Amino acid sequence: MQKIRQSAVAGAFYPAQRDALLAVVRKYLSLAAPHNLIHCPKAIVVPHAGYIYSGAAAASAYATLAADADVCRITRVVILGPAHTLAVRGLALPGVDLFNTPIGPVKIDHAAIAAINSLRQVEICPAAHASEHSLEVQLPFLQAILGDFQLVPLVVGHATAKEVAEVLDILWGGPETLIVISTDLSHYLPYDAACTRDAQTVERILSLLPLQSHQQACGATPVNGLIVAAKRHQLHPKLIRLCNSGDTSGDKSRVVGYASFAFYGDELYSDVE
């Protein structure tokens, strides 16, 4: 019998009904700035709040994949997001065969998981995934754009950037593999203070400098792992969108920051002028 990780935040972070969810995702994607690409990014960094807050920022990055279906032939997605509900040592796999969303099931890539399962920093921990939203909220966007793909879902807890990068290197693959890093930026600062801090965080990422604390981004650990791997693989980040919940909800007293990035390589990935 197949083991299934059911949706945990459908109806809270995004619509619980399939048609309504697809309509919302497609609306965000249609409103995203167009990208005239000859190749897809190898990796993207996207926020993971409720869609009413960060959906537009996330869609801006996912639109880089939707720019040309003939260009982006992604069949495997590696998603890393921070642990919010359970303390985890290292990187946690779910120990399931499928992730369900209202759109339908997503298959787990067991061959890819077998390649990293023996690493000391990787463990199987279904409890780390059971209520975690940072990975789940990315799936409807990926389903709407890619259709059929296989998933490698990793919840990242206490780990080093080197440990994360080691996992990414093993899973790197070719153009069939997309890496998604799920993170928000600053949390619960007044609007102006958040804008200042988030701008500094964005500059560090664009300069491929590691983030210094989880006050800059809740997913600082997976972001830093991507930065290590990006240097090794000669990828270059591009800021796609920067905003915060004050821009989307109107409440600027305590906001959460959101940014989306795409990472491209010199020889394979570039914009068409």
Domains of the chain and any CATH numbers: 4-265 (3.40.830.10)
The dihedrals phi and psi of 131, each to the nearest 5 degrees, come to -115, 5
Which residue in the block uniquely carries the two structure tokens 């921990």?
125
Q: Give percent of the chain above pLDDT 70.
A: 94
Return the structure tokens found at 234. Answer: 């000669």
What is the four-CA torsion angle of 171, 176, 177, 182, rounded to 10 degrees?
-170
pLDDT tens, residue by residue, 79-105: 999 999 999 999 999 999 999 999 999
- The CA-atom distances, in angstroms, between 162 and each of 23, 38, 155, 169, 269 are 39, 31, 16, 10, 25
Strand pairing report for 91-93 and 150-156: antiparallel
Return the structure tokens found at 83. Answer: 């642990």
pLDDT score for 170:
98
The dihedrals phi and psi of 19, each to the nearest 5 degrees, come to -65, -40
- The CA-atom distances, in angstroms, between 202 and each of 34, 147, 184, 194, 198 are 21, 31, 12, 12, 6
The dihedrals phi and psi of 143, each to the nearest 5 degrees, come to -65, -40
Task: Using alpha carbons, select from 79, 218, 230 the residue that is nearest to residue 143.
Answer: 79
Return the structure tokens found at 114. Answer: 């077998």
pLDDT tens, residue by residue, 145-163: 999 999 999 999 999 999 9
Q: Which residues of 144-167 are buried (b: 16+ CB within 10 A; e: fewer)?
A: bbbeebbbbbbbbbebebebbbbb
Q: What is the DSSP letter of 56?
A: H
Report whether pLDDT(202) > 80: yes
Rounded-to-integer distance, Cα 180 and Cα 113, Å: 16
Strand pairing report for 76-82 and 150-156: parallel
| Lowest pLDDT segment from 71-75, 88-92, 174-178, 184-188 | 71-75
| Model confidence pTM above 0.85 | yes
Rounded-to-integer distance, Cα 52 and Cα 137, Å: 12
Specify the amino acid at residue 166: E
